[in-house]
Amino acid sequence: MPGRTLGAQIAEQIRGLIESGGLPEGSGLPPTRQLAQSLGVSRGVVVDAYERLRAAGFAEATVGGYTRVVTPGPSSVSQRASAGSRPHTWRVDLNPEVPDIATFPRAAWRESLEYGLKSQPTYGLDYRSQRGLPALREALAAHLARSRRLRVEPEDLVLCSGYRQAALILAGALHENGVSTLATPRVGHPVNGVLLPETPLRLRWLDVDTAGLAIESTLDATGTAVMVNPVHQFPLGTRLSAERTQALTASGLWIIEDDSNTLLEHDNTITPALQGTRSDRTIYVGSLSRALAPGIRLGFIVAPPRFDAPQRAPRACGVLRLRRSNKPRSRISSAAERWINTL
C-alpha cells in the first residue's frame, strides 16, 4: 500500500483478519521478534504495528509481555470513526476504473521531480499559460503523437486537473461554439452520468451494441456533438465498427473522442486515434489516471485551432481558447521527457 509505513500496513492486515473472524477474540499474537523475523522487517516495525492495534482497541497487552486480540467496544469504534476511517483495501481489486497503483514508478517519478525542481527557473513557479506548463505540453504532445498517432502541437493542448474538469470545460466551450446537444453512450463512465446533466448541453443517450456506439440517429442532426470512444468503449470494451467510423467522420458533426481507457490496451499494438484522421472536427479528451494513478490529477484536451471559447474561466479552472501561433517549437525538457517515457 503506497504511502503507508510498514507498521501501519501490518496493523491493517492483522485488523482485517480480526474483523473477518480469522483471529477470534482472545487469540495470542506472535511475539514481536518472531513476527519480525518471519516478515523480514525490524522488530521496531512490529512493535509499532501492535501499538496501533492497541490504540484502535483491537489488541491488549497481557501479563508476561504477550499481546492478544480483543473485540473493540462501542467507544473504540466511535473514536475510530471520528478520527476518520481509512479506505478498505482488498487482496484483489477488480475495479475497472482504477489501475494497479502499487506499481506506480515512484523512483522514476521522484528522480524527475527532483530534476525538475533543480532545473526550473524562478519564473517557472509563477503564473504561466492558462493552458498548462509549456514543457509538459510539449512532452505530452510528443507522447500522444507517438503513441496514439495524434495530429497535435503543444499549442493545441489544454491541461486540466483530471477528466472531470476537462469534461466540464469542454461542455461549456461546446455550448459557446453553437452546440446545444451532446449525444453520449447510455452505458459509460459513471462520471458522465453525474457531470453532464449539470452542463448547459441537452443530453441524448445512445445505445451501445457489438458494433460500438449506435450513432445512426444523430448523423443528420444539427447543433449536435457526439461523445465516443472508438477504440475501447467503457465498460463494455467494444470498438466502433469501420462502417460507423466512416459515417461519423463524414457527418460533419463535432466528435468528442474520449480516449481515457485506450492506454490500457494489452496487445502492445498502436491503435491510431480518430483525431488523427479528422483533426479539424475532433476534440480529443484524455487522462493519465489509468496510465499512472488517479492522484496525479492530470487530464487534457486536444482541440483544433478553429475551436474557440471566450476566456471566462478563472485561472484555476483553465480555458479552452486555442489559436495556432507561429512560435517555433522548443526542445522538450529532459525532466519532462523522462517523465513521459514512464507511461
pLDDT in tens, 110-134: 898 888 888 878 877 777 778 888 8
Same domain, 189 and 44: no
Same domain, 166 and 281: yes
30 Cβ contact partners less than 8 Å away, ≥ 6 residues apart? 38
Gap between the Cα atoms of 126 and 248, Å rounded:
43
56 vs 126, higher pLDDT? 56
180 pLDDT higher than 60: yes
Q: Which pLDDT score is estimated for 87?
A: 56
Last residue of a domain, one of 83, 111, 138: 83
Inside any domain, residue 22: yes
Inside any domain, residue 244: yes
Same domain, 202 and 292: yes
Nearest to 254 by CA among 185, 183, 194: 183
Q: For residue 328, give the amino acid letter.
A: P
Interior/surface letters 190-225, b for 16+ CB within 10 angstroms, e for the rest: eebeebbeebebeebebebeeebbebeebeeeeebb
- 165 backbone dihedrals φ, ψ, rounded to 5°: -65, -35
Q: Which pLDDT score is estimated for 324?
A: 33
Q: Which pLDDT score is estimated for 343?
A: 45
261 pLDDT higher than 80: no
Same domain, 175 and 303: yes
Same domain, 127 and 213: yes
Range of the domain at 28: 6-83
287 pLDDT higher than 90: no
- Overall domain count for the chain: 2
How much of the chain, in percent, has pLDDT values that exceed 70? 76
104 pLDDT higher than 60: yes
Last residue of a domain, one of 60, 83, 106: 83
Same domain, 237 and 160: yes
Same domain, 66 and 124: no
Same domain, 21 and 130: no
Interior/surface letters 289-319, b for 16+ CB within 10 angstroms, e for the rest: bbbbbbebebbbbbbbeebebeeebeeeebb
Q: Which pLDDT score is estimated for 256?
A: 93
92 vs 81, higher pLDDT? 92
339 pLDDT higher than 80: no
Q: For residue 1, give the amino acid letter.
A: M
Gap between the Cα atoms of 101 and 340, Å rounded:
17
40 pLDDT higher than 90: no
Inside any domain, residue 96: no
Same domain, 156 and 29: no
Task: Report the chain's mean pLDDT, rounded to a whole number.
Answer: 78
Cis ω for the linkage preceding 235 (within 30 of 0) = yes
Average pLDDT over residues 192-212: 86
175 vs 330, higher pLDDT? 175
Confidence of residue 135 (pLDDT cuts 50, 70, 90): confident
Q: Which pLDDT score is estimated for 45?
A: 92
Q: Which residue in the block uniquely carries the three cell numbers 521527457?
A: 337
Nearest to 199 by CA among 224, 221, 167: 167
Q: Which pLDDT score is estimated for 322?
A: 34
Q: What is the pTM of this model?
A: 0.64
Inside any domain, residue 126: yes
92 pLDDT higher than 70: no
Lowest mean pLDDT among 103-107, 225-229, 307-311: 307-311
Same domain, 153 and 233: yes
The domain that holds 239 is classified in CATH as: 3.40.640.10
Same domain, 148 and 268: yes
Inside any domain, residue 89: no
Inside any domain, residue 143: yes
Maximum separation of any 2 CA atoms in the chain, in Å = 82
Q: Which pLDDT score is estimated for 149?
A: 87
The domain that holds 62 is classified in CATH as: 1.10.10.10
271 pLDDT higher than 90: no
Inside any domain, residue 107: no
Per residue in 6-19, pLDDT tens? 889 899 888 888 88
Same domain, 178 and 327: yes
Last residue of a domain, one of 83, 105, 140: 83
